[in-house]
Structure 1
Amino acid sequence: MQRPIGIFDSGVGGTSIWREIKKMLPYEHTLYLADSANAPYGERSKEEIVQLSVKNTKFLLEHDCKIIVVACNTATTNAIDHLRASYKVPFIGIEPAIKPAALQTKTKKVGILATKGTLSSSLFHNTSKLFAEGITVLEQEGKGLVELIEAGEIDSPTMQELLKKYLDPMLQQDIDCLVLGCTHYPYLIPQLKKMLPSNITIIDSGEAVARQTKAVLEKGNLLQVAKNTPRHMLFTNKDIGVLKKLVNDPIAEIAYRDF
């Protein structure tokens, strides 16, 4: 199937998911949307998040995408039910990796760093209730982190100050797993590894999402089997500089597009 895999996020962070999909499915074409002009989704109302997710989905369907990966925790937890009810194309969602954290923790205390939109969603609370019985889940809103990543300030002093402010209370509570509940946050892993004790496991959803995408494509006979050279197109409706820097891929086509 020559049709591309469609991926959208509130900004550049979902490229962490795009990278895992590209690695696991090396012959698939991809089309990625970074809705950076409207980032962060985590500060918006549910109605706004649904409206933006519909807009992104329509763009991807106009470009004949065969599957859509909602590479945004906030959009998944607030809008994916609406998307699945409205469109026939398969959707892959993302939610914080509470289950693997609950299985791995020895202290029975897990930290989660996520946006306000994810932490306040019913899907997140249902997932926590289902998988985290007997586990203390310490929630921390990562206010301001997405904006700094979107501005390319991953290594800035302001970023370090915010991370210390958010991590210290969880460390004092003896967490041994930190769940990254936003697709922007894997870009902070080098910073986090410097700041966290070595016994703390950092968990994100990227590889699991890629595996699920592959499984759904196989089940629907949509997998690209020919060993062709893939085309990767990434669009942003804001400055392309940050997207280019994060993607750092010579074969990727990156452009500004008003969508």
Structure 2
Amino acid sequence: MIINKHPIGFFDSGVGGTSIWKEVISLLPNENSIYLSDSKNAPYGEKSKTQIINLCIKNTEFLLKENCKLIVVACNTATTNAIDFLREKYSVPFIGIEPAIKPAALTTKTNTIGILATKGTLHSSLFEKTSSSFRKNIYIEEIVGKGLVELIEDGKLHSKEMTILLKSYLTPLLKKNIDALVLGCTHYPYLIPQIREIVGNKINIIDSGEAVARQTKAILTKFQLLNATENIAKHTLYINKSKVVLKQLILETEHTKIIQKKF
């Protein structure tokens, strides 16, 4: 068996993509990883497509210099606006993140699902293409979660402001009789406990984490890039703002380092 010890690379507009990172390293415990938190430029969801692509190029080239063998674009907005460009420009395999509309559409009983995502994701051509195939049979209610990412990046995950904002977005969705809520931003899984308190137990909350981890394993296997060693994996997480919020989400250990760095 070919053993490839090079790290898996991840990048996001901030700390939210660690929700994806956690799923991947849980499924692939032998894999080393490097994570970029571009918190200085968060949120990507309010930027133009050109700005998003340029940020994705910067992040990708940082990870390639670190010899990453595969890159997970752990950001819905970056994926929906830049993944095609990145795949054309670079030879490394990319894993993208898209709102998990399909499982919601296949399981809904009310034929109405909600999607909470950023403006950049909901207004992208890739999202429109993906969602359009399901709109014939179900109603998709879209809500832009403006301000949620900023609060998480500012360390206000459990704040009163967050509760008020979540209620303002989720209450209209509940009135539409949704029975599934798709989280279309990798920051949002950290809000699941608070979302659950608002929507109750009858709403199916869906995010992309487990599916992305399975796809990452599949692509590594396909291209013979798996690290089959049983050594303890090493993880380095870079952030270009204060480390405080990232340290609240990630347990820093001997093998998991958080580094504040300009990039």
If the TM-score is normalised by the length of the shorter chain, which range does it land in? over 0.9
TM-score normalised by the chain length of structure 1: 0.99
TM-score normalised by the chain length of structure 2: 0.97
Q: CA deviation at 1:248?
A: 2.2
**Counterpart pick for 2:10 among 4, 7, 16:** 7
- Percent of pairs with identical residues: 61
Cα offsets for 1:56-114 (capped at 9, x unmatched):
00000000000000000000000011100000000000000000000111000000000
* Residue in structure 2 matched with residue 123 of structure 1 by the alignment: 126
1:93-104 mapped onto 2 (5 Å cutoff): 93-104=96-107
* Residue in structure 2 matched with residue 167 of structure 1 by the alignment: 170
* Residue in structure 1 matched with residue 90 of structure 2 by the alignment: 87
User: Structure 1 residue 106 and structure 2 residue 113: aligned?
Assistant: no
Q: For residues 79 and 128 of structure 1, what CA distance do their matches in structure 2 show? A: 18
User: Structure 1 residue 38 and structure 2 residue 38: aligned?
Assistant: no
**Counterpart pick for 1:57 among 36, 55, 60:** 60
SS at 2:230 equivalent: coil
Give every structure 1 segment of 4 or more consecutive aligned residues whose post-TM-superposition deviation is greater than 3 Å: none
Unaligned runs of 5+ in 1: none
Q: For residues 186 and 39 of structure 1, what CA distance do their matches in structure 2 show? A: 17
| Contact in 2 for aligned 1:99/1:132 (Cα 8 Å) | no
Q: CA deviation at 1:249?
A: 4.2
SS at 1:152 equivalent: coil
| Contact in 2 for aligned 1:2/1:224 (Cα 8 Å) | yes
> What is the one-letter code of the residue matched to 1:35?
D
* Residue in structure 2 matched with residue 258 of structure 1 by the alignment: 262
Aligned residues: 259
Q: For residues 233 and 134 of structure 2, what CA distance do their matches in structure 1 show? A: 38
User: Structure 1 residue 238 and structure 2 residue 241: aligned?
Assistant: yes
> What is the one-letter code of the residue matched to 2:197?
K
Q: CA deviation at 1:132?
A: 3.9
**Counterpart pick for 1:185 among 181, 185, 188:** 188
Q: For residues 181 and 32 of structure 1, what CA distance do their matches in structure 2 show? A: 20
> What is the one-letter code of the residue matched to 2:87?
R
Cα offsets for 1:165-211 (capped at 9, x unmatched):
00011100100000000000000001011111211000000000000
SS at 2:238 equivalent: strand
| Contact in 2 for aligned 1:69/1:92 (Cα 8 Å) | yes
Q: For residues 234 and 84 of structure 1, what CA distance do their matches in structure 2 show? A: 23
| Contact in 1 for aligned 2:252/2:258 (Cα 8 Å) | no
Q: For residues 242 and 91 of structure 1, what CA distance do their matches in structure 2 show? A: 27
> What is the one-letter code of the residue matched to 1:165?
S
Unaligned runs of 5+ in 2: none
SS at 1:131 equivalent: coil
> What is the one-letter code of the residue matched to 1:36?
S
SS at 1:227 equivalent: coil
> What is the one-letter code of the residue matched to 1:42?
G
User: Structure 1 residue 133 and structure 2 residue 136: aligned?
Assistant: yes
Q: For residues 198 and 28 of structure 1, what CA distance do their matches in structure 2 show? A: 35
**Counterpart pick for 2:206 among 194, 203, 206:** 203
Q: For residues 223 and 77 of structure 2, what CA distance do their matches in structure 1 show? A: 27
Q: For residues 41 and 170 of structure 2, what CA distance do their matches in structure 1 show? A: 27
**Counterpart pick for 1:219 among 202, 208, 222:** 222
> What is the one-letter code of the residue matched to 1:80?
I
| Contact in 1 for aligned 2:79/2:97 (Cα 8 Å) | yes
Q: For residues 136 and 239 of structure 1, what CA distance do their matches in structure 2 show? A: 41
